[in-house]
Amino acid sequence: MVRKQGGVRAGLCAALLGLASVPGWASGFSIFEQGTRAMGMAGAFTAQADDGSALFHNVGGLGFFEEPEFQLGLTYISATEAEFTGTDPYPGPGVFEEQKSLSEFVPHAYWIKPLSDMWKFGVGINSPFGLTTEWDDDYPGRFLTTRASLQTLDITPNIGMRVTENLSAGFGIVARFSEVELDRSQGLIDPFTLRAAEVARVNLQGDLSNALGWQAGLLHKVTEKLTWGFSYRSRIRVHYDGDANFTQVPSGSPLLDDLVAATLPFGSPVSIHAGIDFPDTASLGVAYAVTESILVEVDANLAGWTTFNDVVVEFDREGMDDLVLVQDWEESNNYRVGVRVNRGEKEWRLGYVFDESPIRDENLSPLLPDADRNGVTLGWGQAPGNSGIDLALMYLPFDERTSLDNEVNFTGTYNTTVWLFGVTWNR
């Protein structure tokens, strides 16, 4: 990845990434809401995959498309509660903090073109991973983070094949573009007083980078009523190059300030290098048409977060130690149930999701205060093959989660509640 990129492609990706920076409210920092019709069924869509978002949920459905399709949409994400209450030993039971209000938009766009009865082509643009957390500059956890931002944008060209009358397969290349940023304070023990002091604020900025992965899927219509689907998206590792900028914070001690000024490179950016492993994911779904107008789907999804271990930031300056952000995440599952009810050219949709957090108790921190969550959804819009608007609403309360004894030495209870609203235009 080069530090500065020119041309139309880099400009377009940067503009779309501005939309794709989102609160980290999905399992880990994944974002499953990449199509409004599927969102109305809580994402239980692997065994249907019959609109443009098949290019995200299950590219195996691509072979069944008989007409061109275009979709353009957004998912709006807003946190109505994102709070922290401290406990002993640090920062103590009297500490209460709130994240800064975050309201973000996640874009998606899909275009599908049948090439023949057997072969189909499609291109998807979406943002399946993202993170934004932001706290006040003077809160006790500022030495861990004051702001974290991870932005991604995927561009996926796909090919689908109708293998038989009832079986379709698909394959696609995933081109992922990403930026990352972390702000935090730096402290040290004053050698003259033996007390802790804040001496600097640090901004770590990873420039626009990219990497490749792939996805594949199958969709099988067993009978007119029963279908099943399987989808897999590969692990992708993105390498970032960028800069670290240090700003001195006066400590009140001239001797300490002079010592720090001689040690840290204030006013002079330091080149940095880092890498993030985005997990592979697998989805299995079964859909059954209870009547001509009512369909139920159940999905199980697995995210391989064990690849998200330590994030190491390397500094290109002699004498500066690497910054190691210990993660050590676990695999996580989520389970989704969706119901759709057809009313002519329109549909009503309902859904429920249980989503596990991959973060261990000992690694829970304000960088990403994640927890298990149970969500419910409601949707309305067009039946497959009809032009118009789809709408969906999701209510996503997180389980209250307390970290009492962890490796980051910052303990307390987190409470989070999120609302999501999706809209997609179909043509």
For residue 247, pLDDT over 50 is answered with yes
**Would you place residue 55 in the very low, low, confident or very high pLDDT band (cuts 50, 70, 90)?**
very high
**Does residue 1 fall inside a structural domain?**
no
**Does residue 413 fall inside a structural domain?**
yes
What is the C-alpha to C-alpha distance for residues 350 and 327, in angstroms, rounded to an integer? 35
Find the domain containing 181 and state its range: 7-426
Which pLDDT value is given to residue 309?
84
For residue 424, pLDDT over 50 is answered with yes
Q: By the 8 A CB rule, do 106 and 77 touch?
A: yes
For residue 14, pLDDT over 50 is answered with no
Looking at residue 33, what DSSP letter applies?
-
The CATH number assigned to the domain holding 21 equals: 2.40.160.60
Q: By the 8 A CB rule, do 162 and 149 touch?
A: no
88: exposed, middle or buried (C-beta count within 10 Å: 0-12, 13-18, 19+)? exposed
For residue 126, pLDDT over 70 is answered with yes
Mean of pLDDT values over 272-293: 96
**Does residue 224 fall inside a structural domain?**
yes
- Tens digit of each residue's pLDDT (9 = 90 or more) over 286-321: 999 999 999 999 999 999 999 888 889 999 988 888
**Does residue 233 fall inside a structural domain?**
yes
For residue 260, pLDDT over 80 is answered with yes
Which pLDDT value is given to residue 11?
41
- % of residues, the chain, pLDDT over 90: 64
Distance, C-alpha 252 to centroid of its chain:
41
- % of residues, the chain, pLDDT over 70: 94
Which pLDDT value is given to residue 18?
42
**Does residue 2 fall inside a structural domain?**
no
- Tens digit of each residue's pLDDT (9 = 90 or more) over 349-363: 999 999 999 998 888
Structural domains of the chain, count: 1
Report helix, strand and coil shares of the chain as percent, to nearest 5. 10, 55, 35
Q: How many helices (H) and strands (E) does the chain have?
A: 4, 21
What does residue 322 show for φ and ψ, rounded to 5 degrees?
-65, 145
- Tens digit of each residue's pLDDT (9 = 90 or more) over 179-192: 999 999 988 888 88
**Does residue 223 fall inside a structural domain?**
yes
Instruction: Tell me the three state secondary structure of residue 142.
Output: helix
**Does residue 198 fall inside a structural domain?**
yes
